[in-house]
Chains A and B, each alone.
Chain A
Amino acid sequence: MTVRALTLLLLASLTASTVYSSHVQAKKEQATIAVAANFKLTLEGLILDFQADAPNFSFQLVSGSTGMLFAQIRNGAPYDLFFAADAERPEQLERDGVARAGTVATYAVGQIAIWVPNRTQPWQDFFREHRGSLAIANPALAPYGLAAMHLLETGLFDNEPKLIQGTNVHQAFQFVDTGNAQAAITSLAQLIQAGATQSDFYLPALNDYPQIIQKRVLLSENTAAEALLIYLGSARAQRLIESAGYKTASSLEQPS
């Protein structure tokens, strides 16, 4: 008797919670976004800013490396929107018919920076005399690592530094932050997020390395995702992206 009563109670509460949650979902437009690790914090800030005006939209972020997210999406991961750290992966998804046709666009252009905390020499002397280690993101995995390799090929350092590879710019940063490496080529965005002192980093000229074009693509028909993309095109959002350490397509068009 008690067992039957308990079962009934359980069933009733299950039904109630399902009805309740579907009711809530009907009110709130939700989207799941896959975002490359380097843009995650910036996107979180943008979403907060967006939600201040549009509280009925909610977003769930899944962050990881572009390659990993790409593999997940190809294998059916239920994401509505994908912010990649490169141009290639979103374009590939569009060609494969996994993404919605005609929705690939550049949302940010990455900048690399050389970070040397507690630098004692002027930059020119540092580049001439540095003989220690230099942490970079793995060039095979991360566009920022590839850009770093190109920068090194311009002969920036007089002596070839010992290259330590992290899986991404965050790990390259962490190797220096923990004191295990002396210098890193990381992203400007990472340094701004970490609150690094401006005199501790060096910004190479944009044409010294291939542009790190980061593209996004829509993966499903989703109201929340589409609304967010419209917001990201606004001048206000573009300014936020630039202050986070990225160039935007519009800022690159104007000669500075």
Chain B
Amino acid sequence: MESDLITLGTSLKLAFFTTMILTLLGTPIAWWLARSQSLFAGLCIPLLALPLVLPPTVIGFYLLLAFSPNHLFGATWLDWFGSSLAFSFEGLLLGSIIYSLPFFMQPMIIAFRELPEDLFKAAASLGANAIDRFTTLVLPLSKHGFLIACTLTFAHTLGEFGIVLMIGGNLEGETRVLSIALFDYVETLNYERAHLLAAGLVGFSLITLTLVQWATHRGYRASSLSTR
């Protein structure tokens, strides 16, 4: 039971940091992608959606090769930080960020595209600078977009399995997450503990998706009100 709590802690920590980093890095990129008409942006959008269709094993395989000190990325990382990314929490975090990228970016791009352009022009003509416009207009108007993107990212990271299996190494308190512990319980026929974790994940995911559904619904009403 105590080991399950440690595992739950690792999972929550991973989901939290993935969501936080994606919010910080992904928001400006999503804003640019939503507005840009350039060919480069047009190429970036399908690239960012790639983790949605690729099996996690593909990403896990490439990450395992990239983390290896035999290759440039892994060797450079080892040089700078003195420890390898494979079998570490930081390595899992990097994997989760890539894996959950579309779950954050897609809702944000859609949310930003729905914002009325005229409003920004009006605000600019009244003397609001870019930062003012972002904090007083963009953020409040795309509140529901953030809520959807963050909950989806968080929930999707909690459910991550294939990548962790390939690059994690099953270290307690470091890389053993809920889905891995569940896999181990099923394999060792410990169905009682497996049920506990599985039911917990089902319950949590259901609540999350209900929340997203509710936010989407509210978001539609909010955006239809604002354009009226």
Do A and B come from the same complex? yes
One of B103-111, B127-135, B185-193 contacting the partner: B185-193
A140, A163, A179 interface centre (most CB from chain B within 10 Å): A179
Q: Quick one: which of A138, A164, A166, A179 contacts B68, CB cutoff 8 A?
A: A179
Q: Quick one: which of B70, B71, B171, B188 contacts A141, CB cutoff 8 A?
A: B188
Q: Which residues of B contact A180 (CB under 8 A)?
A: 64, 67-69, 74, 84, 86-87
Cα A175 to Cα B70 with chains together (Å): 12
A175–B169 contact, CB under 8 A? yes
A141–B184 contact, CB under 8 A? yes
Q: Which residues of A contact B71 (CB under 8 A)?
A: 179
Q: Quick one: which of A68, A70, A165, A178 contacts B169, CB cutoff 8 A?
A: A165
Q: Is the interface of A mostly helix, strand, loop or mixed?
A: mixed
B4-54, CB < 8 A from A: none
- B123: CB under 8 A from chain A? no
Closest to B185 in A: A140
- B215: CB under 8 A from chain A? no
B189–A71 contact, CB under 8 A? yes
B171–A164 contact, CB under 8 A? yes
Closest to A138 in B: B170
Q: Which residues of B contact A163 (CB under 8 A)?
A: 171
Q: Which residues of B contact A71 (CB under 8 A)?
A: 186, 189
- B165: CB under 8 A from chain A? yes
- A32: CB under 8 A from chain B? no
A178–B184 contact, CB under 8 A? no
Q: How far is the CB of B78 from chain A (nearest CB, A)?
A: 11
Q: How far is the CB of B137 from chain A (nearest CB, A)?
A: 47
Cα A138 to Cα B180 with chains together (Å): 11
Q: How many residues of A contact B (CB 8 A)?
A: 21
What 0/1 readout, one digit per residue, does chain A (37-57) give for beta carbons within 8 Å of chain B? 000000000000000000000
- A133: CB under 8 A from chain B? yes
A122-140, CB < 8 A from B: 133, 135, 138, 140
- A65: CB under 8 A from chain B? yes
Q: How far is the CB of A175 from chain B (nearest CB, A)?
A: 7
Q: How many residues of B contact A (CB 8 A)?
A: 21
Q: How far is the CB of B171 from chain A (nearest CB, A)?
A: 7
- A30: CB under 8 A from chain B? no
Q: Which residues of B contact A140 (CB under 8 A)?
A: 184, 187-188
- B65: CB under 8 A from chain A? yes
Cα A138 to Cα B87 with chains together (Å): 14
Closest to A133 in B: B87
A178–B70 contact, CB under 8 A? yes
Known pairs A178-B68, A179-B68; A138 contacts B184 (CB<8 A): yes
A65–B169 contact, CB under 8 A? no
Closest to A165 in B: B170
- A167: CB under 8 A from chain B? yes
Q: Which residues of B contact A166 (CB under 8 A)?
A: 169-170
Q: Which residues of A contact B64 (CB under 8 A)?
A: 174, 178, 180
- A161: CB under 8 A from chain B? no
Cα A146 to Cα B92 with chains together (Å): 26
Q: How far is the CB of A229 from chain B (nearest CB, A)?
A: 26
Q: How far is the CB of B75 from chain A (nearest CB, A)?
A: 9
Closest to A164 in B: B169
A173-189, CB < 8 A from B: 174-175, 178-181
Q: How far is the CB of A76 from chain B (nearest CB, A)?
A: 16
Q: Which residues of A contact B170 (CB under 8 A)?
A: 138, 164-166
A67–B171 contact, CB under 8 A? no
Q: How far is the CB of A75 from chain B (nearest CB, A)?
A: 12
Cα A71 to Cα B68 with chains together (Å): 35
B65–A178 contact, CB under 8 A? yes
A selection of 12 A-B contacts at a CB cut-off of 8 Å is A67-B186, A67-B188, A68-B187, A71-B189, A163-B171, A164-B169, A175-B86, A178-B68, A180-B64, A180-B67, A180-B69, A180-B84
Closest 9 CB pairs of A and B: A67-B187, A179-B70, A179-B68, A165-B170, A164-B169, A180-B86, A141-B187, A178-B68, A164-B87
